[in-house]
């Protein structure tokens, strides 16, 4: 879930753009309306793209260049540790690669297709082909290094 800073008091708030549809998200501290992050499938290149079973072909397999797919679940502690790293990598990508996230609980078809048996699992695709797999929570430098190996 994305974190949005309040423009009034600076408090960081978690906002689910998919469930906020039709509602006004407000700061938990001061009540000021918050800017909503983009909904699933509408994320900017500097934010992780939410991928589903239905959008996987278009967003990952048909994508040109590198895509790092973070396979995660909301209840997974190590996945929540990797989440901010994915946000940072997306912000730092400068178009060299795309960061995407797949909730394995909600998208079991794609998780089964790539035999995701442990989460977090990060899959690296290059021009739609699976080229690397990282299993378990990894530090940011290790993930970035694996991306760089395939960027050439």
Active site residue 9: no
Residue 70 sits at φ, ψ, to 5 deg, of -90, 110
Catalytic, 27? Answer: no
Catalytic residue, chosen from 6, 27, 71, 76, is 76
Q: How far apart are CA 63 and CA 140, in angstroms?
A: 23
Residue 138 neighbours by CB under 8 Å, 6+ apart: 82, 122
Q: Which of 70, 91, 90, 68 is nearest to 80 (CA)?
A: 70
Point out the catalytic residue in the list 6, 27, 71, 79.
79
Half-sphere exposure of 82 (CA within 13 A, CB side): 30
Contacts 24+ apart (CB under 8 A), 106-109: 106/52, 107/51, 107/52, 107/53, 107/56, 108/53, 109/53
CA dist., res. 82 & res. 98, Å (int): 16
Residues with active-site annotation: 76, 79
């Amino acid at each position: 879930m994305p974190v949005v800073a309040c423009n009034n008091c600076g408090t960081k708030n978690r906002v689910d753009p998919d469930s906020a549809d039709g509602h006004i998200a407000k700061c938990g501290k001061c009540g000021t309306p918050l800017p909503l992050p983009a909904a699933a499938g509408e994320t900017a290149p500097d934010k992780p793209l939410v991928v589903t079973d239905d959008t996987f072909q278009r967003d990952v397999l048909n994508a040109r260049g590198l895509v790092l797919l973070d396979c995660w679940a909301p209840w997974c502690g190590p996945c929540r540790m990797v989440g901010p790293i994915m946000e940072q990598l997306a912000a730092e990508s400068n178009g060299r690669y795309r960061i995407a996230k797949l909730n394995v609980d909600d998208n079991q078809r794609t998780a089964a297709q790539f035999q995701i048996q442990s989460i977090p699992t990060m899959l690296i695709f290059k021009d739609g082909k699976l080229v690397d797999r990282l299993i378990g929570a990894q530090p940011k430098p290790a993930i970035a290094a694996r991306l760089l190996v395939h960027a050439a």
